[in-house]
Structure 1
Amino acid sequence: MDSAGKEREAVQLMAEAEKRVKGSHSFLRGLFGGNTRVEEACEMYTRAANMFKIAKNWSAAGNAFCQAAKLHMQLQSKHDSATSFVDAGNAYKKADPQGPLHHCRQAPHHHRRDLRGRAGGHREGHRALRAGCRLLQGRGVQQASGSANKCLLKVAAYAAQLEQYQKAIEIYEQVGTNTMDNPLLKYSAKEYFFKAALCHFIVDELNAKLALEKYEEMFPAFTDSRECKLLKKLLEAHEEQNAEAYTEAVKEFDSISRLDQWLTTMLLRIKKSIQGEGDGDLK
Structure 2
Amino acid sequence: MVSFSLYIAHQFVIRCLHVLSLNNKTKTLRHNLRRKVMFGGCSFLRGAPERSNGVPAPTSDTKMDNSGKEKEATALMAEAEKKMKSSQSFFGALFGGSSKMEEACDLYVRAANMYKMAKNWCAAGNAFSQAAHLHLQMQSKHDAATNFIDAGNAFKKADPQEAINCLNRAIEIYTDMGRFTIAAKHHITIAEIYETELVDIDKAIAHYEQAADYYKGEESTSSANKCLLKVATYAAQLEQYQKAIEIYEQVGTHAMDSTLLKYSAKDHFFKAALCHFCVDMLNAKLAVQKYEEMFPAFSDSRECKLLKKLLDAYEEQNVDAYTDSVKEFDTISRLDQWLTTMLLRIKKTIQDDENDLR
| TM-score (structure 2 length as normaliser) | 0.51
The correspondence of residues 100-139 of structure 1 with structure 2, limited to 5 A, is: 100-101=184-185, 104=188, 111=195, 126-134=205-213, 136-137=214-215
| Pair 124,107 (structure 1): closer, same or farther in 2 beyond 3 Å | closer
| Pair 267,102 (structure 1): closer, same or farther in 2 beyond 3 Å | farther
Q: Compute the displacement of 1:220 (Å).
A: 0.5
CA distance in 1, matches of 2:267, 2:284: 15
| Pair 206,277 (structure 1): closer, same or farther in 2 beyond 3 Å | closer
- Whether contact under 8 Å (1:62, 1:88) holds in the other structure is no
CA distance in 2, matches of 1:181, 1:207: 25
1:5 to 100, 109, 114: 114
Structure with the largest fraction of helix: 2
CA distance in 1, matches of 2:236, 2:260: 27
| Pair 60,206 (structure 1): closer, same or farther in 2 beyond 3 Å | farther
Q: Compute the displacement of 1:149 (Å).
A: 0.8
CA distance in 2, matches of 1:277, 1:49: 56
Q: Compute the displacement of 1:146 (Å).
A: 0.8
Verify: 1:194 aligned to 2:303, yes or no: no
Verify: 1:274 aligned to 2:350, yes or no: yes
CA distance in 2, matches of 1:103, 1:81: 12
CA distance in 1, matches of 2:315, 2:264: 28
Q: What percent of counterpart residues are identical?
A: 56
Q: Where does the alignment leave 5 or more consecutive residues of structure 1 unmatched? A: 14-43, 73-79, 279-283
| Per-residue deviation, residues 213-255 of structure 1 (Å, max 9, x unmatched) | 0000000011111111111111111111111111111111111
| Per-residue deviation, residues 247-269 of structure 1 (Å, max 9, x unmatched) | 11111111111111111111111
- Whether contact under 8 Å (1:62, 1:87) holds in the other structure is no
Structure with greater Cα Rg = 2
Task: Answer 1 or 2: higher relative contact order, Cα 8 Å, separation at least 6.
Answer: 1
Q: State the match for 2:8 in structure 1.
A: none
| Pair 97,165 (structure 1): closer, same or farther in 2 beyond 3 Å | closer
Q: State the match for 1:228 in structure 2.
A: 304
CA RMSD of aligned residues (A): 4.4
Q: How many residue pairs end up in the alignment?
A: 228
Q: State the match for 2:339 in structure 1.
A: 263
CA distance in 1, matches of 2:340, 2:188: 23
Q: State the match for 1:157 in structure 2.
A: 233
Verify: 1:242 aligned to 2:318, yes or no: yes
CA distance in 1, matches of 2:114, 2:163: 28
CA distance in 2, matches of 1:67, 1:271: 41
| Per-residue deviation, residues 195-223 of structure 1 (Å, max 9, x unmatched) | 11010000000000000000000000111
| Pair 84,164 (structure 1): closer, same or farther in 2 beyond 3 Å | farther
The correspondence of residues 145-224 of structure 1 with structure 2, limited to 5 A, is: 145-224=221-300
Equivalent AA in structure 2 for residue 7 of structure 1 = K
| Per-residue deviation, residues 139-173 of structure 1 (Å, max 9, x unmatched) | x645x111001111111111111110000101111
Q: Compute the displacement of 1:105 (Å).
A: 9.8
Q: State the match for 1:30 in structure 2.
A: none
CA distance in 2, matches of 1:179, 1:189: 5
Q: Where does the alignment leave 5 or more consecutive residues of structure 2 unmatched? A: 1-72, 74-110, 132-145
| Pair 7,186 (structure 1): closer, same or farther in 2 beyond 3 Å | same
CA distance in 2, matches of 1:267, 1:84: 40
CA distance in 2, matches of 1:192, 1:267: 15
Q: Compute the displacement of 1:127 (Å).
A: 3.2
Equivalent AA in structure 2 for residue 126 of structure 1 = I
Q: Compute the displacement of 1:137 (Å).
A: 2.5
